[in-house]
Amino acid sequence: MSDLLAHLNPPQLQAVTLPPVHALILAGAGSGKTRVLTTRIAWLISTSQVSPHGVLAVTFTNKAAKEMTARLAALIPVNTRGMWIGTFHGLCNRLLRAHHREANLPATFQILDSADQLGAIKRLLKNLNVDDEKFPPRELMNFINSHKEEGVRAAQAQAFDTWAQRRVELYAEYERQCQREGVVDFAELLLRCHELLLRNEPLRQHYQERFRHILVDEFQDTNRLQYAWLKLLAGGGAKFFAVGDDDQSIYAFRGADVGNMRDFEGEFAGPNVIRLEQNYRSHGNILAAANAIIKNNRGRLGKNLWTDAGEGEPIRVFEAYSDLDEARFVVEEVRELARDGVARNQIALLYRSNAQSRVLEHELFGRGVPYRVYGGLRFFERQEVKHALAYLRLIGNPEDDTAFLRVVNFPTRGIGARSLENLQATAHQLNSSLYNAAASLTGKAGTAVGAFIRLIETLRQETGGLRLPEMVEHVLEKSGILQHYRTEKEGQERLENLDELINAAATFIDDEGVVMAEEAGESGALVAFLTHASLESGEHQAGEGDEAVQLMTVHSAKGLEFDVVFITGLEQGLFPHENAVLEGHTGLEEERRLMYVAVTRARQRLYLAWAQTRMLHGQTRYAVPSSFLDEFPQELLLRLNRPAPVSTGSGRVYYAAAPEPEGGLRIGQSVHHAKFGLGVIVSAEGRGADARVQINFGAAGMKWLVLEYAKLDPA
DNA sequence: TGGGAGTGCTTTTTT
DNA sequence: AGCACTCCCA
């Protein structure tokens, strides 16, 4: 018990040992928020204020949930297996599985990941003969998801013109299609669960009485629906403990609403707001820089990080001639650091957008520095794995048209677009799934389709008594997937991944077997595994070895920390991103929070780099340094000497001379425009009447202006 | 059926 | 530039 609370600083201790009240913990970067959250749970349980059964702990990522579970198990002897610790989606799934009838879902309902969802929407548009120029699938998907995240069903959605009405109809059609197929997308998982609790009073009461303490991590990232869901569950007197940092809210673009924090303060926490401001991660200069940056945002809940670690090193700034030059510099520094004994996995190269990783990777590769890139394809998202899962899904639920279409002709078995069109027409007539339509046609229509149906039926029978791993293996072999990749040139890696899928199934049974047997029964193993695959798409695919430099976007760096951090591409239009600047004040503030997150990742040393020219979308852009660079206190900065431009043996120079625009202007010059105000010329193109210049007007954004018409005065 | 050419897009991303 | 996607031909 005293062990439990040892080494907590006073605010941490206060937060952990708060009596049963609602509370908001404003936890700055590196202030030990996960520690506070887990210790709070451990303290509540070990002081018998709540049973493990009465705790609901919610996170955003599976990784965070796992970490919390592991830490809790290390703190107190408790069986975390049966506890409700998980992600919003995972917990909603659990609730919906347990009460699928009340939620009007089949026991075997499957979860669509984003790619599946997009596919389902494309298919819907095709079936309804909708012009996808007028209704781009991606846009429709965003429309549907954002409505669901606001808790708005198609029936309640507003539409003021015929186009918007049509869009709402398509939303409704999509809902019908999912319902018919027994599939549920990510947003639906939450919305359906919320509706279930809202409408079903006995169930609601049951859970409201059960959960006495609700604890939420990364509260600043919740959307409206998630907050509503939490409030509903807390409605029976549970104590609501939210931990978050409004300054690290960087997911507004996907529906997160920082306003939830302010609302929560008003509706729940009241006076119980505790600030964790002591930072245990970074040296003083880094923290001072972070504080100075974030200070420029308005409407913050307010927080000032401090440390007793000492000032540490100055922040190094490097101005490169080009993106290549920047990469060269970064990699050279990395090599030097590694020589000086810094572990490579303690060095992070951060960038605003993924496209920027290419130059860095190229340079790292060229110099033989091991590196690891985060982001990209994950295990359960790989095509061969998705194919295999589609067979399994079809065995578990023949109504799943998404799965059907994915593998009906994979490996190719002579079922072309024509037979599929017929099949879809039949399915439409019968108002049934493609699978059932195909089954009813078997005999008269194409034998190929019939053979496919027989294949699935056979697989279902043959695998009926098998354990999950054997089942997967059997399906891989008999479906022809393995054979297909064995003959393919580039199939080796895919075969390995399919092997890995069998292992994943075995591991899954070992890890989850007990829980599953309780919740789903023996036959539920397949469904549970498929759910696992959708909900937890697997580790990011990344290079092996922990002695590798870490490359990632600033977004994916949230929650991580490194001894040395390089923030690259600090150019206006890139970071802050042009699109964000165009969104105005809100957009710029989110970019600033992103900058804050980036800076606070560093423990000992921070580099800031920018390049005068950069290849972007196949064109060289002439850049202006990021406005954020001016927001750093200049006395904290150490400007590194720029090495003379270097030309390689091949004669290639690492920086390019900017083409000068006409009219006595030059790149980098400040000009004044009657409407947009003060700006800096960023690039130029064309001659004579075509001559245009690109000008960065700061808040007014980036503009291309034709010299002949634009009235520009040197400023 | 599969590949090659042509077209268009391009911020961030978890579940 | 690079990638995903579509379309058309052998």
Run of H or E including A343? none
Mean pLDDT by runs of 10 across the 715 residues of chain A is 85 97 96 95 96 96 94 94 94 96 95 92 88 88 94 93 92 94 95 97 97 97 97 95 96 93 95 96 97 94 92 95 94 96 95 95 92 88 92 92 90 83 85 89 69 93 92 94 84 88 92 61 80 84 69 95 97 93 91 97 97 90 93 94 48 39 64 79 62 70 74 76
Q: Which residues contact A101 (CB under 8 A, 6 or more apart)?
A: none
Active-site position among A116, A181, A188, A218: A218
Q: Which residues contact A391 (CB under 8 A, 6 or more apart)?
A: A403, A407, A456, A459, A475, A479, A481
User: Among this protein's residues, is A511 annotated catalytic?
Assistant: no
Strands, E assignment, A494-618: 549-553, 562-567, 602-616
Specify whether the CB–CB gap between A595 and A608 falls below 8 A: no
Specify whether the CB–CB gap between A363 and A331 falls below 8 A: yes
User: Among this protein's residues, is A478 annotated catalytic?
Assistant: no
Active-site position among A217, A319, A473, A571: A217
Judged by C1' against the alpha carbon of A617, the nearest nucleotide is C1
Whole-model pTM: value is: 0.87
Judged by C1' against the alpha carbon of A92, the nearest nucleotide is B15
Helix runs in A520-646, H state only: 524-535, 554-557, 578-582, 585-599, 627-631
Give residue A546's pLDDT.
Answer: 65
Of A105, A182, A94, A113, give the one whose Cα is nearest residue A533.
A113
Bases of chain C with protein Cβ within 7 A: 1-2, 6
Please check whether strand C approaches the CB of A254 to within 7 Å: no
Judged by C1' against the alpha carbon of A111, the nearest nucleotide is B15
Please check whether strand B approaches the CB of A694 to within 7 Å: no
Q: Which two tokens stand for residue A694?
A: 């690109």
Distance A394 CA to B4 C1' (A): 34
Please check whether strand C approaches the CB of A617 to within 7 Å: yes
Enumerate the β-bridge partners of residue A639.
A317
User: Among this protein's residues, is A601 annotated catalytic?
Assistant: yes
CB within 7 A of strand C (chain A, 352-391): 358
Alpha-carbon separation of residue A105 from A111, A220, A477, A525 (angstroms) = 12, 31, 32, 18
User: Among this protein's residues, is A217 annotated catalytic?
Assistant: yes
For residues A52 and A79, give the distance between their C-alpha atoms in angstroms, rounded to a whole number.
8
